[in-house]
Amino acid sequence: MDFQTIVDSYGMAAAVLSVEKTEDGHYGDIRIVRANEMYKKIMGDGYHDNMVYSELIPKEPNFEDFCYRCAVHKQHLHAYVDTKSMGVWTDGTYIPLAPKFDEGNLCYFLFFFEFTKAPDSEKMSNISAETAPLVIQTCINLRGSENFYESMNTVIADIQKKTESFCSCIFMIDKEKRKFAPLCAKFSTDEVTIEDFLPFFTPEVVFSWEDTLKNRDDIIIKDEFDLAELEKINPVWTKSLRDAQVKNLVLVSLSQGKKMFGVLFITNFNVERIVDIKEFVELTAFFLSSEIANNDLMERLEYLSNVDSLTGVRNRNSMNARVDSHVNKEMTVHTPYGVIFADLNGLKQCNDSGGHEAGDRLLKDAAKLLKKHFDGDEIYRSGGDEFVIIVPNCKKDVFEKRVAQLRTETGYGAEISFAIGADWTDDEKELRHCMSIADGAMYADKNEFYRLHPDKARK
């Protein structure tokens, strides 16, 4: 077949590419077989016929996936994407060539494209009939409520439903301040919440996303093959995904200009709809970026960063802010209330014998136990092995009974052992005093524990 004649018949940059099929149902080399003069001019002196495309531009998994779908599965595809490696937006069309032109394990397709320096609204709106109403509905939901957070929750629930995913979530990230927090999340089941998965979102994982996205419009993981490819460039994140039982994923940057301030991601979605989902999620992320940036949410990230990423309970900053809001009468703790200080016994020994991974597991299990006893109350991790629980609107006898139950379950010999101090009051003015008494009682209990069990003492 005279591929040169085909590409020369186009008035825009065009090329015929080949995709090598592999026996495992994936692909090998993707080569530019022939190109017209406009294509060669754009690509520069490095171009030559039958070259592997990544000799000219950085490898792009999403582009490769479209090449494979077009050449091998004979799908006619279109994409308008932010080609970060070249600093342009690319309006690309993929047209399969008839199977009769395929040779052995090589399949062919025609690719032609145009560049724009900035996103073009007309090209961006050139989307499939299936995707258009989904995006329009999302935009309506974004503008349909005066409450920003309410509209975000509505949109993320809509995204979860339309992608048939297990989880859809927006994470806010401030790399300069080393802060991150979930803005909103929706799961396919009400039995789990984002707090259950926060331990997988370590700073090392979250702050790696920007580098991984550096030369890509988004990250799409469809199967174990894609996960293995991601592992080559980001093993820490890949391990976290495996630990969280993520089978497939779409992660898209939320940004203003060139500054990324968050991500939209969905996990365990209907992978059979990957082309439509990619188009829908990318365009939705564009509008979400604008809406979030207009809301100036970055200045409020300080207030969103209130969760301890390891245990899923609230962190020390959140506790301090809670005490301040009570003292300033902005949001008081409902009286009567009790305060509990619970210090985890034996963490140092656990770290020494089993390493910090064992210590982290102990802390997670400790937080899980506290959630079991004080579900619906305010639980904070105030320090390395110390937790604080504020129990609002609780009668004295009920409070004391709950504390006694916690002591019984976490005494010496238990898998999770706490030194516990508690105090109760019916005077809203006494929160700090109540906390001081509970803190002192906890330390007395801790010292008695180490006196009786010196083998557990911190060295």
Report residue 175 as tokens. 């790399």
Predicted local distance difference test score (pLDDT) of residue 220: 94
Burial of 1 (0-12, 13-18, 19+ CB in 10 A): middle
In 3D space, the residue among 420, 398, 376 whose CA is nearest the CA of residue 195 turns out to be: 376
Q: Could you report the per-residue pLDDT of 371-426, keeping only the tens digit for each?
A: 999 988 999 999 889 999 999 999 999 999 999 999 999 987 889 999 999 999 99
Would the pLDDT of 79 be above 70? yes
Enclosing H/E stretch for 263: strand 259-267
What φ, ψ does residue 328 adopt, rounded to 5°? -80, 0
- Residue 357 has a pLDDT of 85
Whether the CB-CB separation of 367 and 375 falls below 8 Å is answered with no
Residue range 15-43: mean pLDDT, rounded: 94
Please count the other Cβ atoms lying within 10 Å of the Cβ belonging to residue 324.
Answer: 11
Q: Which residue has the higher pLDDT, 416 or 305?
A: 416
| Three-state DSSP class for residue 383 | coil
Q: So what's the pLDDT on residue 323?
A: 94
Task: Give bridge partners of residue 113 from the DSSP assignment.
Answer: 13, 92
- Check if the beta carbon of residue 356 is closer than 8 Å to that of residue 336: no
Q: Is the dihedral of CA 56, 58, 62, 64 positive or negative?
A: positive
pLDDT of 288: 87
Closest CA to 217 of 251, 265, 175, 167: 251
Give the tokens for residue 406. Answer: 């916690």
CB contact set of 383 (below 8 Å; sequence gap of 6+): 316
pLDDT value of position 459:
44
More confident residue, 145 or 401: 401
Q: How confident is the model at residue 298 (pLDDT cuts 50, 70, 90)?
A: low
Say how far apart CA 168 and CA 83 lie, in whole Å: 25
pLDDT in tens, 217-253: 789 999 999 999 999 999 999 999 999 999 999 999 9
Got the DSSP string for 59-112?
Answer: --HHHHHHHHHHHTT---EEEEEEETTTTEEEEEEEEEPPGGG-BTTEEEEEEE
Asked whether the predicted pLDDT for residue 273 surpasses 80, the reply is yes
Confidence (pLDDT) at 5: 95
- DSSP-derived secondary structure letter, 423: E
The average confidence (pLDDT) of the chain is 89
d(CA 446, CA 341): 11
Higher pLDDT: 20 or 177? It is 20
Q: Give residue-wise pLDDT tens across range 92-133.
A: 999 999 999 899 999 999 999 999 888 887 777 776 666 666
Residue 146 — pLDDT band, cuts 50, 70, 90? low
Compute the average pLDDT of residues 348-360: 87
Record the tokens describing residue 192, joined without a space.
């789990």
Please state, in angstroms and rounded to a whole number, the distance separating the CA atoms of residues 443 and 456. 15
What is the pTM for the complete model shown?
0.62
Is 171 within 8 Å of 206 (Cβ atoms)? yes
Q: Which tens digits make up the pLDDT trace of 170-204?
A: 999 988 888 888 889 999 998 888 888 888 999 99
Q: Which of 142, 155, 118, 184 is nearest to 295 (CA)?
A: 142
Confidence of residue 457 (pLDDT cuts 50, 70, 90): low
* CA within 13 Å, CB half, 373: 24
